[in-house]
Chains A and B, each alone.
Chain A
Amino acid sequence: MLSTIEKWKQEWFSNVKGDVLAGLVVALALIPEAIAFSIIAGVDPMVGLYASFCIAVIISFVGGRPGMISAATGAMALLMITLVADHGLEYLLAATILTGILQILFGVFKLAALMKFVPRSVMIGFVNALAILIFTSQLQHFVNETWVMYAMVALTLAIIYILPKFTKAVPSTLVAIVVVTAIAIIMNAGVRTVGDMGALPDTLPIFALPNIPLNMETLMIIFPYSLALAMVGILESLLTASIVDDMTDTDSDKNKESRGQGIANVATGFFGGMAGCAMIGQSVINVKSGGTGRLSALVAGTFLMFLILVVGDWVVQIPMAALAGVMIMVSIGTFDWSSLTNIHKVPRTDALVMVTVVGTVVYTHDLAIGVFAGVIMSAIFFAWKLSKIKVEEHFNVRTREMTYEVHGQLFFASVQDFTDQLDFNADVSHVILDLSNTQLWDDSAVGAIDKVKHKYGLRNIEVSITGLNKESYKLMEKIGGLNKASGH
């Protein structure tokens, strides 16, 4: 019991100063992203801001990875676009709640281990595709714009990238937004602002049930979205958790994190926010700014809401150009540039999987489909590599006995290759299948052995099997191959 309290104190109050400072920095960085991701999803900035507030605050209590920041994210926003466009905000809130329920189940049944089926090349493709989509989602803001807007974007990016060379005391993103907003107001530039994109919150979020019919039809509409959101949310959250693990040299509870993400999303849906997940960029900013405990996420969430309520009148004046600049920086930061410089070093199939994930996502605008395609493709490549089977022949001229030594894995993908390498017309008296260097994996493998026996049997040549390992023997016994073998 004492250790539980000790752990609780350690997670909350071992780094108060660092956590509070980092939380403040993260809150400032979260505001433009929450607004931009709302605009991507097609909802009022209010929805993303409520989500960021709720998720950050709730995760600080129930998450499994202290020091990680969760809020409204680009990956999730990109999955919601068609749901919002076709059915509206209320369905999005319902989908958010269902997403949370699915994630809680994911955590309860300890499915974090399923992540092992997502190869690293798929994860790299995932972040690269995400970066590209965040970038392309900003292009709409450039359509029919004047050079003033372009100049503002350029200025935003210049400040973001050059200022840190002189001082790291203030976040350069914040300076860029303040400067560009000030210029827009003073020059009366007449550019589009955040205020033109929809309402900002002027109160704390309130609890409400989504205004939707509770029936099968609704479920059929939201379920596919919720499933994709739940998967992508867990995927990005667990990836981020591993990154924070590595940065802080500590461990985390991945199943607790999955449950925590679920609880946060359920609550967020009831409080009028959109589904979110952990954020790689913000978590890195948090740890770099000195945040390692649960307190930093709590501070980030509450300070974000405080700022919006107090300086909301100023936030609506932020030009879309400044926001687009920040998002371009986010997409550059998200992209895994080393995957481009390494592309000739990694196995060609891995590179192909990565490019396929990116291509699929860019084409379908759906990260979940991209991940799915990547996993399937990796599995096929794996089976392909494993299906290479070699049969060595040893012919005893005196006894006219032919021994076939099988090297490799016998399963559905390799059986054709296996039987092709046997000579069924050979002039032999007896065939010995030496299976000591192979393993039988499935029904097809057992079937192939039966087929070999049958084919030689037609010519009255007996086939005997040696070197069968325990697992293969059990499989043959179960499927029935051995019964036939013992029949003669």
Chain B
Amino acid sequence: MKRILLAVDGSEHSNRAAEKAIGLARITEDSEIELLYVVDGSRSKTDILHYGDSDAASAKRRRMLAAFEEMITAENISVTSTVLQGKNGVAEPIISHANDGAYDVLVIGSRGLNTMQTMVLGSVSHKVMKYVKAPVMMVK
């Protein structure tokens, strides 16, 4: 597990996913974690309304990622961050990014939706599990 891709969204579930990713990184020496945050198309409207413009929204997202970076570097694990725009949902960018790079594992938090929400919103982790070629660890 040398190259770990960790998909986060700033929720409680991604905190737990980050802890698990750190746990995996500790097993092998010189492991590295890449943080991946995909901005959902509909998220843009909310972020612009609440933070002003695109630059301010980007800064806010960077801050969210910085908290994870700090958490990971504190464990002496090297970390990089990637922010992608998911125009039409967040699952596809995660899948293509994961399949384009040579990752040993993808760690992702489950949003913990109930049956009704899953039906209406669709499950990102479900799609990711299905289409990502590397092993996927879904953290509940």
Pick from A127, A165, A284, A342: contact of B41, CB below 8 A: A284
B52 touches A120 (CB 8 A): yes
Q: Is B44's CB under 8 angstroms from A246's CB? A: yes
**B54 beta carbon closer than 8 Å to chain A:** yes
CA distance A118 to B6 in the complex (A): 38
Contact of B85 among A242, A249, A289, A339 (CB under 8 A): A249
**Interface status of B47 (Cβ within 8 A of chain A):** yes
| Contact mask for chain B residues 5-37; partner A; CB cutoff 8 A; 1 contact, 0 none | 000000000000000000000000000000000
Which of B39, B46, B53, B58 has the largest number of chain A CB atoms within 10 A?
A: B53
- Judging by beta carbons under 8 Å apart, are B88 and A246 in contact? no
Is B42 an interface residue when CB atoms closer than 8 A count as contact?
A: yes
User: Does A123 have its Cβ within 8 Å of any Cβ on chain B?
Assistant: yes
- At the interface, yes or no: A89 with Cβ under 8 Å from chain B? no
CA distance A289 to B87 in the complex (A): 8
Instruction: Out of A124, A251, A284, name the residue touching B50 (CB < 8 Å).
Output: A124
Q: How far is the CB of A163 from chain B (nearest CB, A)?
A: 12
Contact with A along B84-100 (1 / 0, CB 8 A): 01011000000000000
Q: Let me know if B50 and A247 touch, CB within 8 A.
A: no
- B54 close to A336 (CB less than 8 A): no
Q: Inside 8 A of B39's CB, which chain A residues have their CB?
A: 246
Please report whether the interface of chain B is mostly helix, strand, loop or mixed according to DSSP.
helix
Secondary structure call for the A interface: helix
Identify B48's interface contact among A239, A248, A288, CB under 8 A.
Answer: A239
B45 touching A165, Cβ below 8 Å: no
Take A247-B85, A249-B85, A288-B87 as given contacts and tell me if A242 and B46 are in contact as well, using a CB distance cutoff of 8 Å.
no
Contact partner of B54 among A123, A127, A161, A246, CB < 8 A? Answer: A246
Q: Are B120's CB and A243's CB within 8 A?
A: no
Contact status A165-B88, CB under 8 Å: no
Q: Does A396 belong to the interface (CB within 8 Å)? A: no
Q: Is B74 an interface residue (CB 8 A)?
A: no
Question: Which residues in A have their C-beta under 8 angstroms from that of B137?
Answer: none
Residue numbers in B under 8 Å from A339 (CB-CB): 49-50
B122 at the interface (CB under 8 A from A): yes
Is the beta-carbon distance between B42 and A248 smaller than 8 angstroms? no
Q: What residues of chain B lie closer than 8 Å to A246, measured between beta carbons?
A: 39, 44, 47-48, 53-54, 57-58, 85
- CB <8 Å contact, A120 and B49: yes
Q: Please, how many angstroms separate the alpha-carbon atoms of A41 and B51 in the complex?
A: 32
Are B50 and A243 within 8 A (Cβ)? no
**Beyond A127-B49, A239-B48, A290-B87, 18 additional pairs, beta carbon < 8 A:** A120-B49, A120-B50, A120-B51, A124-B50, A161-B120, A165-B119, A165-B120, A242-B54, A243-B48, A245-B54, A246-B47, A246-B48, A248-B87, A284-B41, A284-B42, A288-B87, A338-B46, A342-B50
In the complex, the 7 A-B pairs of residues with the closest C-beta atoms, listed nearest first: A246-B54, A245-B54, A246-B44, A247-B44, A288-B88, A243-B48, A242-B53
